[in-house]
Amino acid sequence: MPKFNRLKECVVSNKNVIVRVDINVPIVDGIIEDDTRIKAVLPTLQYLAKNNAKTILIAHFGRPDGKFDDKMSLKLILHRLQELLSPIRVSFIDDCIGDKVRNAVLDTKYGEIIMLENLRFYKQETDNDHEFSAFLASLANLYVNDAFSCSHRSHASITGIPTILKSCAGLQMEYELDNLTNLLENAKKPMMAIVGGAKVSTKIDLLKSLATKSQAIVVGGGMANTFLHALGYNVGKSLYEKDLKDTSLEIIEIAKINNCEIILPNDVVVVNEFKAHSPHSIKSISLVNDNEIIVDIGENSIQKLLEKLQNFKTVLWNGPVGAFEIKPFNRGTESIAKIIADLTDQKKLLSIAGGGDVVSALNGCDLAKKFTYISTAGGAFLEWLEGKELPGILALNKQNK
């Protein structure tokens, strides 16, 4: 792991500190559905306020593609942030560059926080534009990256600012890096990986890497459909990637060479229409009809997996195994979560889970706190597991200073 400055090693009292966080949370009809990411950055913000720093908070929300959009304004998150940080004063400015922003920062007192508008309202953010980075850097004396989940991006606020300002990792970033490094380096064998989600194409490198490191890989979600199709099964109208047949077979072969078992469902839950309350049935994977859609793993698959988990010491989980957001198609994901939580509670299993969908699923069934470690990161978590160097972490590297 690269060596980097840590927040508590830096002088912050009476300093302007610009902090990059990830508070990209799910919002439906103006209501925040899951505030896990907001809560994760509270320790850093509270530490800075307690130590009399002026905190300039920067973040993104959604994908506005360089255009202003009220539906993706960070002001939607402001009230919840103010509630959680009370009595610390948190103000908001509806832009992130220009004289208005500079003056608002000047008016902010030490010990207070000012949140700038969505960085991605400017294309310069995702383009890693130097002038954009330079303006943001000019507001502060110190840059703090507390957004591990964004650190696989070469964006202005992730890799641009730290080329200009003294930089360090925030408390949440430290926590993520230290725990992931320690847990993965000390993971006990045998290890099982559970990899779900929609597409194999987004996790090819991860699957190939895990096939050489783990003793079993459970493939679930839409990804399982691609593997089942590659093996000659009919997946009906289910989501799958036809052009990844050879890739799926290659991953199976890599696993075989490395004595890693690929575990696919042997029965599935199917529907004719993908919507809430749609009539459903459980079928063997060999009996799926052309007009059916696979939405979850079946009871037999769940039971076999629960039995197998008893024989493993470490489990690494990324991605749900079914359409967990629609009941009752959350049964597979929640059943797996419960047995992992129970085994972890009994000190029989070390459990690591990461990615937004899995975290949401675990929070939804109130089991997240029972896992050994939960990462809020998605893409960054995947790339870290793949052994890739993350641009945002490299930018904090002491050797680069």
Kindly list the catalytic residues.
37, 199, 356, 379
Q: Cα torsion for 219, 223, 226, 232, to the nearest 10°?
A: 30
**Is residue 268 within 8 Å of residue 297, measured between CB atoms?**
yes
72 Cβ contact partners less than 8 Å away, ≥ 6 residues apart = 61, 62, 63, 64, 118, 120, 121
Query: Mapping DSSP to helix (H, G, I), strand (E, B) and coil, where does residue 226 land?
Result: helix
**Is residue 296 within 8 Å of residue 322, measured between CB atoms?**
yes
Distances (CA, A) of 385 to 71, 290, 303: 33, 36, 28
**Is residue 92 within 8 Å of residue 47, measured between CB atoms?**
no
Give the closest residue to 140 by CA, choosing from 47, 57, 73, 59: 57
**Is residue 364 within 8 Å of residue 187, measured between CB atoms?**
no
Q: How far apart are the first and last CA of the chain?
A: 16
Cα–Cα dist 82/88, whole Å: 8
**Is residue 89 within 8 Å of residue 104, measured between CB atoms?**
no
130 Cβ contact partners less than 8 Å away, ≥ 6 residues apart = 156, 160
Residue with tokens 């078992």: 261
Tokens of 290: 């052309």
Sign of torsion over alpha carbons 30, 359, 44, 152 = negative
**Is residue 375 within 8 Å of residue 176, measured between CB atoms?**
yes
Cα–Cα dist 177/49, whole Å: 24
Sign of torsion over alpha carbons 34, 20, 377, 188 = negative
Cα–Cα dist 58/68, whole Å: 16
